[in-house]
Amino acid sequence: MNFKYLKVTFIAMLFPFSSIVNVANAGLITQWADTVINFSSEYSNTAWSANQVLGAPNTFSYGDIITAWAPSSKNGTLEFITVGYNTAVYASGAVIRETLGNGFVTQIDVLDTLNSLHTVWLGTDISTDNIPFDFVVNWTQTNFLVKGLKIYLTTQNNTGWEEIDAIQLRGISGITTNIPEPSTLTIFVLGMVGLTSRRLNKYF
Ligand SMILES: [Ca+2]
Ligand SMILES: [Ca+2]
């Protein structure tokens, strides 16, 4: 039996396994907003209230629908909403689900666990209009934990209302997991190969 060939084959098999562990370590967490921390205005405290951005999307058609947040002004104001998430993460992105007057977001800040805001996006929102649209924004992952998002918008985007159905935070958990590092795992398995081969070499 060609034992060298067996060892090379076994080592080669480790590489795809290492890749799987890397993916597991990535651990991207996606959360929909759990609390409303602050907001500039709301159309009412029930229909189109700030609380309508909480949870997973529940506005499935484009239009003036009560399950989305609308500021109290239709035009001519700058508005904001700040939302909180149950699990603080090293944040790398957000999804703002726009369901009326799409294309109105002007800025996104992340809220750290010491209650400081950091701007992660400033720009032109080119979301498609006339359909419920998930405006996805990605940025370089923060090196601090993030527990909230502040979304800024202009009501001057068009002559009608501007509305948000839901807001998602994306990031990596700050909680330590027990998944072994690929290097540790590889060294361990290579050690086992060495032990096994020494035993087998006695017979070949
Ligand atoms: Ca408007
Ligand atoms: Ca909603």
My answer on whether 157 and 111 are in the same domain is: yes
My answer on whether 103 and 37 are in the same domain is: yes
Ligand 1 center–CA 63 separation, angstroms: 13
CA distance linking residue 204 with residue 198, whole number of Å:
10
My answer on whether 52 and 125 are in the same domain is: yes
My answer on whether 76 and 133 are in the same domain is: yes
Ligand 2 center–CA 87 separation, angstroms: 20
Which CATH number belongs to the domain containing residue 159 in this structure? 2.60.120.260
Residues 151-163: b if buried by 16+ CB within 10 A, e if exposed: bbbbbbbeeebbb
My answer on whether 39 and 134 are in the same domain is: yes
pTM for the model: 0.75
Q: For residue 159, which ligand has an atom nearest its CA?
A: 1
Ligand 1 center–CA 77 separation, angstroms: 9
Q: What is the pLDDT of residues 56-68, one digit of tens each?
A: 999 999 999 999 9
My answer on whether 42 and 118 are in the same domain is: yes
Q: What is the pLDDT of residue 12?
A: 47
Q: For residue 104, which ligand has an atom nearest its CA?
A: 1
My answer on whether 52 and 141 are in the same domain is: yes
For residue 119, the SS3 value is strand
Cross-strand pairs, 36: 83
My answer on whether 94 and 156 are in the same domain is: yes
Ligand 2 center–CA 121 separation, angstroms: 23
My answer on whether 63 and 112 are in the same domain is: yes
Q: What is the pLDDT of residue 9?
A: 47
My answer on whether 120 and 42 are in the same domain is: yes
Ligand 2 center–CA 108 separation, angstroms: 19
Q: What is the pLDDT of residues 74-101, one digit of tens each?
A: 999 999 999 999 999 999 999 999 999 9
Which domain range does residue 159 map to? 33-173
My answer on whether 195 and 158 are in the same domain is: no
Confidence of residue 141 (pLDDT cuts 50, 70, 90): very high
Residues 174-183: b if buried by 16+ CB within 10 A, e if exposed: eeeeeeeebe
My answer on whether 79 and 41 are in the same domain is: yes
How many domains does the chain contain in total? 2
Ligand 1 center–CA 127 separation, angstroms: 15
- 23 secondary structure, DSSP code: H
Ligand 2 center–CA 57 separation, angstroms: 5
